[in-house]
Chains A and B, each alone.
Chain A
Amino acid sequence: MKRNPLILVFIAAVVAAMLFAGIHIARKNHAGGVAPGQLIGQTAPDFELQSLEGKSVKLSDFRGKAVLLNFWATYCGPCKIEMPWFVELQKEYGPQGFQIVGVAMDDASSEDIAKFAKEMGVNYPILLGKESVGQSYGGVGVLPTTFFVDRDGKITDREFGLQSRSVFVANIKKALSQGQAVQARR
């Protein structure tokens, strides 16, 4: 088959443009830290944040429990949809050694965040997020972003954006089934 050199040059140009765009975007996105996808199977980065009650809370305090780590914000409509599910899931799976931890990633005052959480009937700890914590989780550029951590502190899954309730249930069951149940400090 005779190949038209012009077509080959065109294909090469398109391929080069795609490669350049892909690498450029990947570099730009990963400049702030590890990519969220790379965290799966790794130990969840530990952090220490203030809770709405003014207590200092570490993620490692929950070692021995399966944790749903939810990055959210008061301005985030899709986050609002998930919260009532989280309240139910905390009640349902809490006795099995499951804990939801919310990390508020917005600039609203702690009073406003507390008011919002109260309106939503939140029954799990809400921590006041910091950019550095978001960066350690690959940069939280999408809200909600949710990580699932097993009893040993390893990340089993992560979800970006609003998911169906069944996705959360499946991920929670998976996190609960992995790692060793030991007495958590909280």
Chain B
Amino acid sequence: MRQTPAIGLLLLSAFLYGQDGHGPTGPVVKMAPAPLVTVRQGKAATVPLSFRVSSGYHINSNRPKSEFLIPTILKIDAITDIVIGKTTYPDGRDMSFAFAPDEKLNVYTGDFEVDVLVRPLHTVQVGKYVVRGILKYQACDNAACYPPKQLPVSFDVRIAKAPPAPRKNPAQSPHAHR
């Protein structure tokens, strides 16, 4: 048992060596499983996509304050018969960091949600569709920045049959119900 601390130290060193100067070992941003949204043919629905920025990191918001900063952007692949509408990004938080205490950056930290409007055509077949895309982001921490990354994004949309069109009744005579 006396060797155990030494082995632990050795392995910890190996672990740290692997991380030496290469930044985060995994993606800084992760996506939570998206809810299955059901939308009728020809109607629109909003799909909320939830993301989490790892603790200690920040990414630029969709509207960073400098032209040199890389905004967070969601790009959704075109899909036949489903129109991808407006993408709504949350407002970022104005924050100062140790590397620039006098400057406010507009960033996302922790959890944030991006909403995507989907509108299937009237003609689309009912069923479940997978929509794919990428979230482009660029992360930093208090002392360093990391090259831009692309997080694969996907969510399911269930297309339901449109309700039958209301029947048009013929105009009635005002005397019909006497």
- A-to-B contact residues, CB < 8 Å: 1, 3, 11, 15, 18-19, 21-29, 35-37, 73-81, 105, 107-108, 112, 116, 138-145, 158, 160-162
Contacts and interface: CB of A to CB of B under 8 A. Distances in A.
A140 B17 CA distance: 16
Contacts of B147: 73, 105, 140-141, 143
A73 B105 CA distance: 17
Contact of B69 (A75, A79, A142, A144): A75
B125 interface: no
Interface in B86-129: 97, 99-100, 103, 105
Interface of B: 1, 4, 7-8, 11-12, 14-15, 17-23, 25, 60, 67-70, 97, 99-100, 103, 105, 138, 140, 143-148
A18 B23 contact: no
B15 A18 contact: yes
15 contacts: A15-B7, A18-B8, A18-B15, A22-B14, A23-B14, A26-B17, A28-B25, A75-B145, A78-B140, A78-B145, A141-B23, A141-B146, A142-B144, A145-B21, A158-B21
A143 B68 contact: no
Given A3-B1, A11-B4, A141-B147, A36 B21 contact: yes
Contact of A160 (B7, B100, B144): B144
A36 to B, nearest CB: 5
A36 B20 contact: yes
A85 to B, nearest CB: 12
A77 B145 contact: yes
Contact of B18 (A29, A77, A116): A29
Nearest to A139: B22
A154 to B, nearest CB: 19
Contacts of A116: 68
A25 B146 contact: no
Given A25-B25, A29-B22, A142 B11 contact: no
A88 to B, nearest CB: 18
A78 B70 contact: no
Contacts of A28: 18, 25
Q: Of B23, B67, B97, B138, which is in contact with the most chain A CB atoms at under 10 Å from its CB?
A: B23
Nearest to B13: A22
A82 to B, nearest CB: 9
Contact of B17 (A22, A80, A142): A22
Contacts of B4: 11
